Chain A
Amino acid sequence: MHYSILIYQSRADFDARTDPAKREVFLDAFVPYVRALREAGIVVASAGLESPESATTLRVGEGGRTVQDGPYADTKEQLGGFFVIDVPDLDAALQWAARCPIGEGMVVEVRGNLPHMS
């Protein structure tokens, strides 16, 4: 089964990316996590996303299509990156999600991928 591990981050987490000291602290734990996932041979896809303000959102409404600056929803946490992993079941996916070195305030969401879409 393919599962997506979606990592949501706060404004402070995104800001920390451009602070060399904080970035190093984050990577010290995150790089080994990515490595452990890869060594387990379960990574199907992964990505880290640019900050939400760089997002461009397309909407289709009654008046047709509009293009806007910024993410689709103005929530406190925004998607910061994701992994798609191939593991036997949700329990295994949750265990990998629990290993994700998220700081306080970060959120990890685990969702199964539709089989015919991957």
Chain B
Amino acid sequence: MDTHRAVEQAARDSYGRLLGFLAARSRDVEAAEDALGDAFQAALASWPRTGVPERPEAWLLTVARRRLINAARRDRVRAEAAPTLLALADEARDLAATDVVFPDERLKLLFICAHPAIDPAVRTPLMLQTVLRLDAARIASAFLVRPSTMGQRLTRAKARIREAGIPFEVPEAGELPPRLDAVLEAVYAAYGSGWDDVAGADPRRRGLAGEAIALGWLLVRLIPGEPEAWGLLALMLHCEARREARRTPEGGYVPLLEQDVTRWSEETMAEAEFCLDTAARAGSVGHFQLEAAIQSVHAQRARTGRTDWDAVALLYEGLVRLTPTVGALVGRAAAVAEAHDAPEGWALLRAVPAASVAGYQPYWALTAHLLERMGRPAEAAGALARAIGLCEDPAVRDFLVRRARGSPAVDQGETSSARHPGAGAARNGSGARPDDG
């Protein structure tokens, strides 16, 4: 293998682990990133001459900790970190000398990134950068933020970790559930950012769905006993299984109920079901498991040819009781309209607080659909226009515009339920979430 690729591979395989290890000891994510960046540069410079070392990670770690120590010497402000760094030096040398596998501190890194002291808006970007080494420009495009602003937010967040002395530790059992939920939400936000883009022509604008799923697998490996981590992974995999079916070959939007189930990935659905089963064995339900279960009901259409809307409505009811977000409330209204009738769904939809739906496109799409079904075409047209005006995804916009023109409308009962997988969607309020129901 050529050395450049060896460095790339080491970066891909070990970046998060190396950074976690260094940051957990220096307690300074930014300094650890700089040191590790230098180490990769050094590898690019010397591996072509010396060959790829037998243990590339240990080599990188040795160089990186040397940089960290030198940086700390230059920087009196961080003088208090010196003892830690010296210990790190010893530890890194020991690790290099023996066959001991260095500890995986990525879980601590994930908890740091989603710490309550970190602005929720920057948690996902921080994870993507520190654990997966995504660059700020790509993260910025995915999250619709000015790239220089994204860079500043990431830098500020890392300064906060250092200055606030946020501890590198996995929370105690007592405070684990809310802290874990923040981690899972941040991972799910990365998944949602990947949804719009199916063609994926411009790699910088490519979504982050694959990265989010990688983080999902990482989490269940690190904390296999946490059912909600399995639930999140099941949810993402169920949505991912339908990626191919979600667009026509020409790029047109295909709502869930119109999708050709033979284009759903059986393998990915099976993985999702495995994750959901694993979660269920723990016997403690959470909103990600409920959302995954809703997707699981939809997935059953591949076998049965029909959608059990009663089951979907029941699961949404549970979701609303657990986390009454806008996404969950709108999803429940859509499911009830399908399971029972439009007026019942409409009654639920009208009860959703107006302030929370002003910019929430799925609400308006569902409103249009239900009013249409109830024989109120003028009001339906107004709501549909609102949905079109709020739409960010060109394919979904075209789909809605065709509906507005009165071309043979598909049965969109599900487009709206569908576009809002629930809890997550509403929390960020952006609607930039999986449009699968």
User: What's the tally of chain B residues with a CB closer than 8 Å to chain A?
Assistant: 21
Checking B145, B149, B404, B430 against A28 with a beta-carbon cut-off of 8 angstroms, the contacting residue is B404
Please give me the residue from chain A that is nearest to B385 by CB atom.
A32
Checking B146, B358, B397, B404 against A101 with a beta-carbon cut-off of 8 angstroms, the contacting residue is B397
- Map CB proximity to A onto B350-362 as digits: 1 under 8 Å, 0 otherwise: 0000000011000
Which residues of chain A are within 8 angstroms of B405 by Cβ–Cβ distance? 28
User: What's the tally of chain A residues with a CB closer than 8 Å to chain B?
Assistant: 18
Please give me the residue from chain A that is nearest to B392 by CB atom.
A98
- Tell whether, in the assembled complex, residue B144 and residue A95 are in contact, meaning their CB atoms are under 8 Å apart: yes
With both chains docked as a complex, state the minimum distance between the C-beta of A109 and any C-beta of chain B, in angstroms: 12
- Tell whether, in the assembled complex, residue B144 and residue A35 are in contact, meaning their CB atoms are under 8 Å apart: no
Please give me the residue from chain A that is nearest to B359 by CB atom.
A40
With both chains docked as a complex, state the minimum distance between the C-beta of B207 and any C-beta of chain A, in angstroms: 14
Residues of B within 8 A of A (CB): 144-146, 149, 358-359, 385-392, 394, 397-398, 401, 404-405, 430
- Tell whether, in the assembled complex, residue B389 and residue A32 are in contact, meaning their CB atoms are under 8 Å apart: yes
CA distance A113 to B391 in the complex (A): 25
- Map CB proximity to B onto A29-50 as digits: 1 under 8 Å, 0 otherwise: 1011111110110000000000
Residues of A within 8 A of B (CB): 28-29, 31-37, 39-40, 90-91, 94-95, 98-99, 101
- Tell whether, in the assembled complex, residue A94 and residue B145 are in contact, meaning their CB atoms are under 8 Å apart: yes
- Tell whether, in the assembled complex, residue A31 and residue B358 are in contact, meaning their CB atoms are under 8 Å apart: no
- Tell whether, in the assembled complex, residue B146 and residue A39 are in contact, meaning their CB atoms are under 8 Å apart: no
Which residues of chain A are within 8 angstroms of B401 by Cβ–Cβ distance? 28-29
With both chains docked as a complex, state the minimum distance between the C-beta of A55 and any C-beta of chain B, in angstroms: 29
CA distance A98 to B394 in the complex (A): 10
- Tell whether, in the assembled complex, residue A101 and residue B394 are in contact, meaning their CB atoms are under 8 Å apart: yes
- Tell whether, in the assembled complex, residue A95 and residue B430 are in contact, meaning their CB atoms are under 8 Å apart: yes
CA distance A33 to B397 in the complex (A): 11
- Tell whether, in the assembled complex, residue B386 and residue A94 are in contact, meaning their CB atoms are under 8 Å apart: no
- Tell whether, in the assembled complex, residue A90 and residue B149 are in contact, meaning their CB atoms are under 8 Å apart: yes
Checking B149, B358, B388 against A32 with a beta-carbon cut-off of 8 angstroms, the contacting residue is B388
- Tell whether, in the assembled complex, residue A36 and residue B386 are in contact, meaning their CB atoms are under 8 Å apart: yes
- Tell whether, in the assembled complex, residue B391 and residue A99 are in contact, meaning their CB atoms are under 8 Å apart: yes
14 new A-B contacts, CB < 8 A, other than A36-B385, A36-B386, A98-B392, are A28-B404, A28-B405, A29-B388, A31-B385, A32-B388, A33-B389, A36-B388, A39-B389, A40-B358, A40-B359, A94-B145, A95-B430, A99-B390, A101-B397
Tell whether A91 pairs with B386 under 8 Å between CB atoms, given A101-B394, A101-B397: no
Which residues of chain A are within 8 angstroms of B144 by Cβ–Cβ distance? 91, 94-95, 98
Checking B359, B385, B430 against A35 with a beta-carbon cut-off of 8 angstroms, the contacting residue is B385
CA distance A51 to B218 in the complex (A): 54
Checking B146, B391, B430 against A90 with a beta-carbon cut-off of 8 angstroms, the contacting residue is B146
What are some 6 contacts across the A-B interface (CB < 8 A)?
Answer: A28-B401, A35-B389, A36-B390, A90-B149, A95-B144, A99-B389
